[in-house]
Amino acid sequence: MAKGSLSALLVTLCLTWSAANALAADERMAVTLNEKQKAFVLGHMRDMLEALTDTQQLLLEGKREELRQRVANLQTREQANRPNGVGQQIPPAFRAMAQSMRPHWQAIQNPDASEEEVRQHVVDLMRVCNACHRTFSIQ
């Protein structure tokens, strides 16, 4: 077997093994929230997924001003719904990861950025979503 395909096989085996392992035992860091805080955080998560879906559609249609509005609405709703004390309840590492989404949302909102640039920021943003989901769970 060629060296390249052997290492590809090993990488695949390792990934499969660690995925199976993660399912068997959830080793993510648990963030404990009260019911109100949990409803807010998970609600905002669903909002972000919807905003990302709309982002894809609006980019396809070239509607950059509507896209700017769409992201602005997401942020307004987040601020309006945020319950008191949620900031103190979440660990600094969680907050830092959440904040690292900011430049990507900003770039997506910018009507002067090229479409290619915006699309790259969408991908980079989604990598942050995935990294956080791999790291934390909510209780």
- Is 11 or 42 the residue whose CB approaches ligand HEC more closely? 42
- Written as one string, the DSSP assignment of 69-99 is HHHHHHHHHHHHHPPTTHHHHS-HHHHHHHH
Residues 53-92 that bind ligand HEC (CB under 6 A): none
Q: For residue 78, what are its two tokens?
A: 């987040």
Choices 45-53, 60-68, 74-82, 108-116; region in contact with ligand HEC by CB under 6 A: 45-53
Of 1, 5, 46, 92, which one interacts with ligand HEC (CB under 6 A)? Answer: 46
| CA end-to-end span of the chain | 46
By CB under 6 A, tell whether 42 contacts ligand HEC. Answer: yes
By CB under 6 A, tell whether 45 contacts ligand HEC. Answer: yes
By CB under 6 A, tell whether 133 contacts ligand HEC. Answer: yes
**Rounded Cα distance, 120 and 52, in Å:** 13
By CB under 6 A, tell whether 107 contacts ligand HEC. Answer: no
Q: 76-99 burial by CB neighbour count: b if 16+ within 10 A, else e?
A: eeeeeeeeeebeeebeeebeebee
Residues of the shown chain interacting with ligand HEC in the complex, contacts defined by CB under 6 A: 42, 45-46, 48-49, 52, 94, 97-98, 101, 125, 128-129, 132-133, 136-138
